[in-house]
């Protein structure tokens, strides 16, 4: 649990431990978060975005480089689209506001621990289309309007995908859930899950969050398209 506010850390620890989720460590800034994560090797890190010494977005990148199988849930008091996109681009598996309910917090930790991503389809569509259009992402020190250069993701070979898998990836990029994918493609949810799993395996994707970012940054999906 990484947050510069002790009250937040204490409150979240109580919520999670009361629901059977162990909190193995705490950090008061981004540098401590990276150090503690490397030492304790947690399954999930709750990472505040705005922290001293090293912001949460950079800390998340470093944690995920050290621990590729770790899941990072970003926390903030601000519902700012730019932070959401920047968090996903950093490799985070989800995004939570600090006013989240106790039940939702515990459910979110369990969800990302299973390998899924905490992405509401409506929010995904809105934030990605807005920020993929301008090529602007958030800088925690200056707010979401700061211009940040992002290069297209060229490290993935989409040619490895079948036409159906490309279609599924494009719809994932639009933020569709498995149920929505099944309806759109007239397939069963089981078949959709199989396609999604194969896409992740072929492209070495961790979860749906990475799939969304990849779909836009490779140009498979275009804003407003």
Stated pTM of the model: 0.65
pLDDT in tens, 129-148: 665 555 444 455 445 443 33
Please report the DSSP string for the chain in residue order: -B-S-HHHHHHHHHHHHHTT------BSSHHHHHHHHHHH--SEEEEESS-SSS-HHHHHHHHHHH-TT-EEEEEESS--HHHHHHHHHTT-SEEEETT--HHHHHHHHHHHHTT--B--HHHHHHHHHHHHHHT---BTTTBTT---------SS-GGGS-HHHHHHHHHHHTT--HHHHHHHHT--HHHHHHHHHHHHHHHT--SHHHHHHHHHHTTSS-TT-
pLDDT the model gives residue 152: 40
pLDDT the model gives residue 21: 96
Spell out the domains of the chain, with CATH numbers in brackets: 6-123 (3.40.50.2300), 152-225 (1.10.10.10)
- Does 186 or 222 have the greater pLDDT score? 186
CA distance 167 to 169: 5
pLDDT in tens, 76-97: 776 666 677 777 777 888 888 8
């Amino acid at each position: 649990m990484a947050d510069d506010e002790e009250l937040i850390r204490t409150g979240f620890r109580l919520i999670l431990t009361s629901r059977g989720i162990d909190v193995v460590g705490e950090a008061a800034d981004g540098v401590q978060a990276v150090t503690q994560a490397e030492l304790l090797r947690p399954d999930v890190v709750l990472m505040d975005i705005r922290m001293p010494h090293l912001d949460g977005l950079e800390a998340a990148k470093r944690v995920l480089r050290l621990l590729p199988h770790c899941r990072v849930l970003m926390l903030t008091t601000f519902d700012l689209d730019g932070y959401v996109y920047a968090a996903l681009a950093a490799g985070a598996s989800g995004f939570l506001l600090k006013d989240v309910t106790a039940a939702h917090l515990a459910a979110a930790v369990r969800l990302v621990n299973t390998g899924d991503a905490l992405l509401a389809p409506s929010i995904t569509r809105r934030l990605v289309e807005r920020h993929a259009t301008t090529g602007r992402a958030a800088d925690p020190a200056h707010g979401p309007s700061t211009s940040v250069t992002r290069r297209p993701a060229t490290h993935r070979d989409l040619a490895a995908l079948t036409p159906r898998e490309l279609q599924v990836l494009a719809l994932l990029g639009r933020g569709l859930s498995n149920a929505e994918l099944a309806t759109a493609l007239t397939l069963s949810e089981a078949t959709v899950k199989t396609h999604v799993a194969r896409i992740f395996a072929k492209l070495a994707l961790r979860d749906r969050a990475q799939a969304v970012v990849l779909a836009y940054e490779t140009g498979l999906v275009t804003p407003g398209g």
